[in-house]
Amino acid sequence: MVDATTLTKDTVIPEFAGLASMDPPNHAHIEEEEYEGWITFEESTASVDWKTNLRPVDESAYSTIAPLQQSKSTPIVSLDEFPFYLDSGATVHISPDKTDFLTLHAIPPRVIKGVGSATINALGIGSVRLRISRGSYLTLENVLYIPNSTVRLLSVQCLAKDSNVIAHFSAETCWLTNRSTNALVANGSLVSGKKLYTLALYSPLAAHAYSAQHTVDLETWHRRLGHANYQALQDMARNGLVAGMPASFPSLPPKCESCILGKQTKTPVPKVRAEGRKATRKLEIVWVDLQGPNAVTSRTGNRYVMNLVDDYTTMPWTIPLKKKSDAYSELKAWERAREEETGLKVGIYRTGNDGELNSEKMEEWLKEHGTQQQFGAPNTSQHMGRVERMHRTLMSKARM
């Protein structure tokens, strides 16, 4: 059906073609000879049988609708009774609950046609803000308020036109994406027993109720903080260093199985070195091993590390590398600096089987300088126990 309103030259056309007016027009006093034009509204429709989707409401819902001005807070939309359904046949958004609205204004009764010949009247119009996830919202404009409806409807057509959102449907699920970026906005699922898809919205009430009733124990804090030491957690709680952490914990939990498994290491081979295999001076034996690629690139673009340990003094050095192929040139530069510093020559390099430290040019360079090279067994990091221990120490410090 089509509504038409005659207007005089003094009539002010309100926002949204007359629907957002606080005062319905008085058609009885419009003189026919004074009209200057016609405003025609498009027929509003919804894929709903209004004969079976009506509810009784208090008479006050049909009388005065107090205007709601823009609210800074987002109303909490309760979805238990009336979920939001995506309707590809609807030309308007619909809500039966005043508390959904950020703004709401009364309008003259507007007919919404449903399935068949059934109709229903909208009494207000405003904006609704949906909380689709923690910290993410979707604002709907020109949502019609129909107090005696038993459904909330999201018009797929209006979402595309006004919110730049496209709806997608499969046999069991649906999802909304941003038309410009293709980013996922929200998702939903097919309602069992109905041919409608309901939109999944974030409801903070259940999460707040759960957190109010549940006290987080020490084991949970241990997992949350990356399996931190239990004693450190108790010190944090006692000194009030973490908001929301209880002042004390009743008892120590059982040992963390994940920590036990994650900290297991193989012992060095051999476990005890013979006396003659130990260095007797600086730079007599130098352990060298490469580590990487690391998951995170450093600010200077490095993803690898070459670690060196002097067997006699246990003095460590760490050299960052952009590529593993840089190891050879960096090792030459390190040796030149250490020999000038100490006046001593490197006697033996003990290295892993990395290709960069087991190459022909490396072998030729060592021969020229009279330096030996000893390799650990393939795939046996235990042979490089001293420098592997350094790897672990450095990575443990980096994760703290």
Q: What is the pLDDT of residues 242-275, one digit of tens each?
A: 877 877 776 666 688 888 887 777 666 665 554 4
CB 312 within 8 A of CB 342: no
Asked if residue 10 is part of any domain, the answer here is yes
Q: How many structural domains comprise the chain?
A: 4
The range of the structural domain enclosing residue 309 comes to 277-399
More confident site: 235 or 1: 235
In this structure, the answer to whether residues 165 and 225 fall within a common structural domain is no
Same domain, 52 and 195: yes
Say yes or no: 174 and 292 in one domain: no
If you average pLDDT over residues 94-107, what whole number do you get?
88
- Together in a domain, 64 and 191: yes
Predicted pLDDT at 345: 94
Q: What is the pLDDT of residue 341?
A: 94
The reported pTM is 0.42
76 and 115 share one domain: yes
Domain-embedded: residue 269: no
Residues 180 and 258 in one domain: no
Q: Is the pLDDT of residue 82 over 60?
A: yes
Asked if residue 86 has pLDDT above 80, the reply is yes
pLDDT of 286 reads 94
Does residue 270 belong to any structural domain of this protein? no
Query: Quick one: 200 and 97 in the same domain?
Result: yes
Q: Which pLDDT band holds residue 310 (cuts at 50, 70, 90)?
A: very high
Same domain, 55 and 195: yes
161 or 381, which is more confident: 161
pLDDT at 323: 92
Shared domain for 313 and 258, answered yes or no, is no
Same domain, 55 and 162: yes
Provide, rounded to the nearest whole percent, the portion of the chain with pLDDT above 90. 21
Report the C-alpha gap between 157 and 168 in whole angstroms: 12
Examine residue 267 and state whether it is found in any structural domain, yes or no.
no
